[in-house]
Amino acid sequence: MCGEVVISSKPKSKSVLLTDSINSTESSASAGLSPRRVLTILLAALVALAIPASLAFQLRVAVENGFSDFQGFYDAATIIDSGDGARLYDLSLYDQPRLKNILKVPGIIVRHYYIHAPFEAIFFLPLARLPFVTAAWVWWTFSLLCAFLTLFVLLPFIASIKERIELGLVSVTFFIPTISTLFQGQDTIVTLLLFAICYRSLVRGRYTLAGCALAVAMYKPPLALPMILLLAIVSKERWKLVTGFLGTFSFLVCVAILKLGWACVAGYPSLLSRFSTYEEGHYHLADMPNVRGLATLALQHLLSERVIFVVVAVLSMAVLVLSVWAVKKIKNRPEAHPLVFSLFVAASVLVGYQEYAYDLALLYLPVLLTWDSLYQKDQNSRDRGLLTISTMLLLFGSFLSLAAAPLYACVIVFFFAVLARQLHGLACATLVSDRPIEATD
């Protein structure tokens, strides 16, 4: 058995932190960057921008003709802007050609039904004032900026990437789920940024802000709920986390009620339950890269839907319990450690009840945090090889999220299992540092 591992949470004084920051700045300034280094960083930035830009050029016709999920967000905002917010979840309204963004393309009428949280549609109201094509590219650009901003939010806590920033820049758009999210017009990159803000807040001891970030991410409850649950269980500052979470979420719900009406907001759960029975409504269960997808794919011809639901519930509970068990020996702020946070993100992805390939953009966080942990000088684990392999598979195998989602789900399970073993096994004392986690601003 592994003995108790302690992460010291004793913060440095402000004067010491200020001195360290000044010394670090002076050291960096004196060292400077060689022309070759500057050129390398600029080339990496160009490559990081060229990848999505070239794909955008190739897929511009599909994006501009409403073949991305952004159309659903735009439709919802258009409905609210026209004064019909109370009918946001009236799916028949989305079939009416009066919506200005429903375009006919060679005999095909593109329809995307809005089935996200009520308050999220309000965020898109500014875009509803723009022509659809303009709004689509504004959203695309905003999402790409959020992806790069995620890297810079984490940069103070990932020293190895900070030293080789060009690798970080390229990795943003090399991770396939990020690109998939961009061209699906989905919102998972914003979720990625919110999770990054949550981690940064945890490291800095700002638990209320961490809870607030996850509350805003509640437009993706299958991802946000497991995360806040795991953090609240293992953190000694759980009440600050929960207070920030519940306070912010209650505020968002109240805003939605004021804008859309109580009946609309209260009817949202009912919409989710009946959506699969509505004409073109379908959840594509076997394509989900998580526990639910794997169970459905393996058992759909053997068991009834109800029994499969029970199996998924049991397996999901097992993943959550294993996550807590893996870190139970860690005392003092385990939630702020990069490997623990990575484990919880992987667990949230696995147990998320409804998610697709674009939702896997959230795994960019564990890739960065785990990769950095592997290259810390105080790492000397006999299981380091397995963790390296699983992290490499998560990054370079990400193309499987589009080509073979169930296979990539197996990669996520492997990564989760290796990480859980690392944190609870005999090598945990070398993986979980006993010094405080500090930013290198």
Q: How far is CA 440 from the centre of its chain?
A: 24
In a domain, residue 10? The reply is no
In a domain, 6, yes or no: no
Whether 242 maps to a domain, the answer reads yes
Whether residue 164 has pLDDT greater than 80? yes
How long is the chain? 441
Given a contact cutoff of 8 angstroms between Cβ atoms, the answer to whether 11 and 332 are in contact is no
Whether residue 99 is predicted with pLDDT greater than 50 in this model: the reply is no
Is it the case that residue 383 has pLDDT exceeding 70? no
Tens of pLDDT, residue by residue over 196-217, are 999 999 999 999 999 999 999 9
SS3 35: helix
Model confidence over 357-381: pLDDT tens digits? 888 999 999 999 998 888 775 454 5
> Which residues make Cβ contacts (< 8 Å) with residue 111, sequence separation at least 6?
94, 95, 102, 280
Q: What angle separates helix 338-351 from helix 221-234, to the nearest 10 degrees?
A: 140
- Other C-beta atoms lying within 10 Å of the C-beta of residue 378: 10
In a domain, 22, yes or no: no
Output the pLDDT for position 14.
Answer: 40
Q: How far apart are CA 420 and CA 441, in angstroms?
A: 30
pLDDT > 90? residue 174: no
Residue 5: Cβ-neighbour burial (10 angstroms; 0-12, 13-18, 19+)? buried
Q: Is the pLDDT of residue 430 over 70?
A: no
Q: Which pLDDT band, with edges at 50, 70 and 90, does 82 fall under?
A: confident
pLDDT at 70 over 60: yes
Which residues sit opposite 109 in a β-bridge? 104
pLDDT of residue 284 exceeding 50, the answer is yes
What is the three-class DSSP state of 388? helix
Average pLDDT of span 32-36:
74
Does 18 fall in a domain? no
Question: Does 108 have pLDDT greater than 60?
Answer: no
Tokens of 320: 């959550």
Is the torsion defined by CA of 171, 175, 178, 179 positive or negative?
positive
Beta bridge partners of 105: 108
Per-residue tokens: 253: 């719900």
**Which pLDDT value is given to residue 316?**
93
Least confident of 55-69, 238-252, 304-318, 380-394: 55-69
Convert the pLDDT of each residue in 302-346 to its tens digit: 888 889 889 999 999 999 999 999 888 787 788 888 999 999 999
Longest distance between any two alpha carbons in the chain, whole Å:
68
108 phi, psi to nearest 5 deg: -110, 130
Task: Report the candidate in 325, 326, 353, 349 with the shortest Cα–Cα distance to residue 227.
Answer: 349
| Angle, helix 291-299 to helix 305-326, in steps of 10 degrees | 140
In 259-337, the DSSP E strands lie at 330-331
- Is the pLDDT at 172 greater than 90, yes or no? no
Mean pLDDT of 38-43: 84
Task: Specify if 23 maps to a domain.
Answer: no
Region at 356 (left for phi over 0; alpha for psi -120 to 50; beta for the rest)? beta
109 has pLDDT over 80? no
Report the Cα–Cα distance between both ends of the chain, in Å, rounded: 37
* Percent residues over pLDDT 70 in the chain: 80
Is 32 contained in some domain? Answer: no
Please check the confidence at residue 103 and state whether its pLDDT lies above 50: no
What b/e readout covers 307-325, taking b as 16+ CB neighbours within 10 angstroms? ebeebbeebbeebbebbee
Q: Is residue 15 part of a domain?
A: no
Mean of the pLDDT values across residues 386-408? 87
Residues 334-354 have pLDDT tens digits of: 888 899 999 999 999 999 888
- Whole-number Cα distances in Å, 132 to 79, 123, 400: 14, 16, 31
User: What local confidence, expressed as pLDDT, does residue 333 receive?
Assistant: 83
Distances (CA, A) of 178 to 158, 159, 365: 20, 23, 11
Cα separation, 115 vs 75, in Å, equals 11
75 touches 94 (CB < 8 A): yes
Q: How confident is the model at residue 9 (pLDDT cuts 50, 70, 90)?
A: very low
The H helix count followed by the E strand count for the chain is 24, 4
The average pLDDT across 399-423 equals 88
Q: Say what the pLDDT of residue 101 is.
A: 43
Q: Which of the 8 DSSP states describes residue 170?
A: H
pTM, rounded to two decimals: 0.85
Residue 161 pLDDT > 80:
yes
* Rounded-to-integer distance, Cα 121 and Cα 255, Å: 11
Tally of domains in the chain:
1
Mean per-residue pLDDT of the chain: 80
For tokens 């103070």, the residue is: 156
Range of the domain at 175: 37-431
- Find where tokens 């623990």 sit: 340
| Residue 404 pLDDT exceeds 70 | yes
The string of pLDDT tens digits covering residues 262-273 is 988 988 887 777
Is residue 218 scored above 60 in pLDDT?
yes
pLDDT digit string, tens, across residues 123-156 = 999 998 888 888 888 999 999 999 999 999 999 9
